[in-house]
Amino acid sequence: METTMAAPAVIRHLQYASLSNGTRLHYASAGERGKPLMLFVHGFPEFWYEWEAQLAEFGHTHFAVAPDLRGFNLSSKPGDVESYRPRHIVEDLVQFIGALGYDQAIVVAHDWGGAICWNLAIQFPQLVRQLVIINSPHPYLFARALATDPEQQAASAYMNWLRKSGSEKALAANDFALLDRMLADADGKPAAWYTPQTRERYHAAWSQPGEGGVHPLTGGVNFYRASPMRPPGDGEAGPDLSQLDPARFVVRVPTLVIWGERDRALPKSLLNGLEDFVTDLRLERIPDGTHWVIHEQPEHVNLLIRSALPAG
């Protein structure tokens, strides 16, 4: 199956949805409202622009929409940690789908967006026609790895650093040097996709202030501060798996998982056992892809996504 050969669909910016929970989500879109909704959900430290190539492609056949999650870029940025509990972010997406005039969406998500959308599909399967997850571990499998796998605990140690007070200021120091480095390739060299123009777009997004003078990056790191998912620190126990019922984490919607296998923070071992939690699973591995495979191989990712879309 080939991707559309027409010119890229026009992407519209500076659109907003005001939700009944008080959140205001900024979003970009391509395609005509009324066509099937495709919702693209970004991770950290990204924003809607992560999905530029996907909006330009799928806007030909769908109403393709990429919001800024709360805490990012031009969406609401409350400063308190409680506002970033996963249930609130899931509720944002539930309301957002309705605010767009839909009762169902094809959901494509990466990184933190994937963590939220695993939960969306588990809790609200009627809203998710098709789930596509890119380099984001299933919540139960991730909790198990954080609790029992020393390799995963070491790979996720950065999460505890991000939870610390002042991490947002450290990320912003020296013109966002640490964030720029995060987006470097596996060899520590600037990634080919992270061009000066793209870097400028990201720096602008990372500079958008929050409500009441909240630091621009506080919302993003509050995802880590609010989450129970983290490796144990010194003297701490890992996540208590006895409090988690595996049966409550089963995904019952058609699911495609795409995984760049050179992801240093989320190794491919996180895929082990995934078939036990997804009733309709297709897994596509990209051996030379990193965590940023969406940027590195957009045409390949688009082909895989399109091959999984439901007919009609």
Q: Which residues are catalytic?
A: 111, 224, 291
How many CB atoms are located within 10 Å of the residue 186 CB?
13
Pairing of strands 24-30, 63-67: antiparallel
CA 271 vs CA 92, 130, 138, 144, 241: distances in Å: 27, 19, 8, 12, 18
Task: Please tell me whether the peptide bond between 231 and the residue prior to it is cis, using omega within 30 degrees of 0.
Answer: no
In terms of residues, how long is the chain? 312
Buried b (16+ CB within 10 A) or exposed e, 201-221: ebeebbebebeeebbbbbbbb
How many CB atoms are located within 10 Å of the residue 175 CB?
10
SS (H, E, C) 158-189: HHHHHHCCCHHHHHHHHHHHHHHHHCCCCCCC
**CA pair distance 63, 267, nearest whole angstrom:** 33
